[in-house]
Structure 1
Amino acid sequence: MSQHNRQISSDKDATSLTYSIRQTLSNFPIIRQSAELILPSPLKSWLTSKLMSARPDRQFMESYILPQIAAAPKGKCLFVGCQPYTRHYGTWFMSSSVEFWTTDIDPDSAQWGEPHRHYICGIEAIDAYVPAHSMDVVVMNGVFGFGLNDEADKVKALQAIHHILKPQGHLVVGWNGDPPGQNPLNMSIILQLFKHSTRWPFAPHTTLEGTTHIYDFFTAS
């Protein structure tokens, strides 16, 4: 077996093992809670990153969405929400002509944001920090119902995103179908400001096997 094939096999084995660990911890919450209490913070952060990266929705983000954005000839992308498992997302843009920016309302999360290209603010107030019509893409993944909970704040966030996007700019919304009630398509405001985009090489409403996470791809109206 060649070195390249051995590496692919090793990566697949590692992903499979990590996914199995994540499933085990999900099925046994007492074990997961005990691990969170016992493990030192650096190890906990490393384990969380590995477990999250094994999720089908995160694999889709890293294998398809980020590379597709980075492949554009130029532009600016804003990624909403910073965690240990997103800290490496900027590496897709190191040799790209697209500027990668991040934002998070928590000042402590700046350590996982893009160096020198990070805003400390809630996404519903991003238009106070980012110039109007200056972003080509905004990626908001796992924010609805997990930080952005109030209906009024969701409306403000969508209005602020629309304000900073260029005409025909792109919005990627990743959301979880379980528990129900997080579907952004149920909000009239999103249909007023955006329309589903067919300019991506995947379905405008993308569902993934093995997860209830869904991606919707929009273009600013």
Structure 2
Amino acid sequence: MRVHGFADRKYLREVMLPAMAEAKPSNVMLAGTRRYNTGYPKLFDQQATAVWTLDFDPRAARFGNGYLHRTCDIREIDRVFSGIRFDVVHINGLLGFGIDTDDDIKCMIEAVHRSLVHGGYMMLGWDADASPDPSENETILARFEHREFGHLPARHRVVGMEGYDHVFDWFCRLSE
């Protein structure tokens, strides 16, 4: 639970997720499920927003959002959720921690792009010491515009303890 107290998690809980909830999206995907983020779906109005969760690890399902949780790889989001289009796909901590290669990123981006509504948003949270800057990735830039989400900036950097630098980037889906 030490992760729960990190500055990036505080920003996520107190600023980012409430701003997402305020937008009242119909379908949100929170990718990556662990004990410290079990309360995140409760930040949304359950009558207005279906908050889906996913994780590739079957053991993480107990921390997901009940019947709205799926065990799968983010690179298969469009296949596993074939009948659902998301307004927001929130991906935090996967780049450099499972989505590591250019091919991994390309596959993930293409699947997320297909799973979003037109004008939907993808949020990438990443560690600057573990991953290249996604705002410079050609695959991402071909399908998304790096842009603010509501009142949240397109990029928010959290500098914490030594060697710990986390970045949140918002990308809006471009039409085909």
User: Relative to structure 1, is the Cα distance of residues 126 and 115 closer, same or farther in structure 2, using a 3 angstrom cutoff?
Assistant: same
Partner Cα distance (2:25, 2:136) in 1: 33
Greater C-alpha Rg: 1
Return 113-122 or 206-215, whichever deviates more.
206-215
Q: Structure 1 segments of 4 or more deviating over 6 A?
A: none
Q: How many residue pairs align between the two structures? A: 171
Match 1:189 to one of 115, 124, 139: 139
Q: Over aligned residues, Cα RMSD in angstroms?
A: 1.6
> Which has the higher mean CA deviation after the structures are superposed, 155-164 or 127-136?
127-136
CA contact (8 A) 2:19 2:152 kept: no
2:25–2:88 CA contact under 8 A, matched in 1: no
**C-alpha offsets along residues 124-159 of structure 1, whole Å, 9 cap, x if unaligned?**
011111136710000000100012112211111010
Q: Please list the CA deviations of residues 71-113 of structure 1 after superposition, one character each: whole Å capped at 9, or x if unmatched.
A: 2234110000111111121211255511100011111110111
Taking the aligned partners of 1:155 and 1:196, their CA distance within structure 2 comes to 16
SS of the residue 2:66 aligns to: coil
Structure 1 segments unaligned to the other structure (5+ residues): 1-48
Please say if residues 137 and 165 of structure 1, whose CA atoms lie closer than 8 Å, have aligned partners that are also in contact.
Answer: yes
Alignment match, 1:121: 72
Q: By how many angstroms is 1:185 displaced?
A: 2.2
- Counterpart of 1:10 in structure 2 is none
Q: What's 1:200 paired with?
A: 150
| Structure 2 CA distance for partners of 1:121 and 1:167, relative to 1, 3 Å | same
For 2:26 and 2:93, locate their aligned partners in 1 and report how far apart those are by CA, in whole Å.
23
Equivalent residue for 1:220, pick from 161, 173, 176: 173
Distance 1:122 1:71 in 2: 28
What is the DSSP-based 3-state SS (H/G/I as helix, E as strand, rest coil) of the residue aligned with 1:208?
strand
| 1:46 aligned partner | none
CA distance in 1, matches of 2:20, 2:149: 12
Partner Cα separation in structure 2 for residue 154 and residue 170 of structure 1: 16
2:125 corresponding residue in structure 1: 174
Which amino acid letter does the alignment assign opposite residue 58 of structure 1?
Answer: R
TM-score (norm 1): 0.73
> What runs of 5+ residues in structure 2 fail to find an aligned partner?
none
| 1:102 corresponds to 2:53 | yes
- Seen in structure 2, the aligned counterparts of structure 1 residues 74 and 206 have a Cα distance that, compared at 3 Å, is closer
Q: 1:71 to 1:202 in 2, by over 3 A?
A: closer
1:199–1:69 CA distance, 2 compared to 1 (3 A): closer
Partner of 1:157: 108
Query: Alignment identity in percent?
Result: 27
Name which of structure 1's ranges 127-136 and 186-195 shifts more when overlaid on structure 2: 127-136
Q: CA deviation at 1:213?
A: 0.2
Q: Please state which structure has a larger fraction of its residues in helix.
A: 1
The answer (yes or no) to whether the contact 2:24–2:45 under 8 Å persists in 1 is no
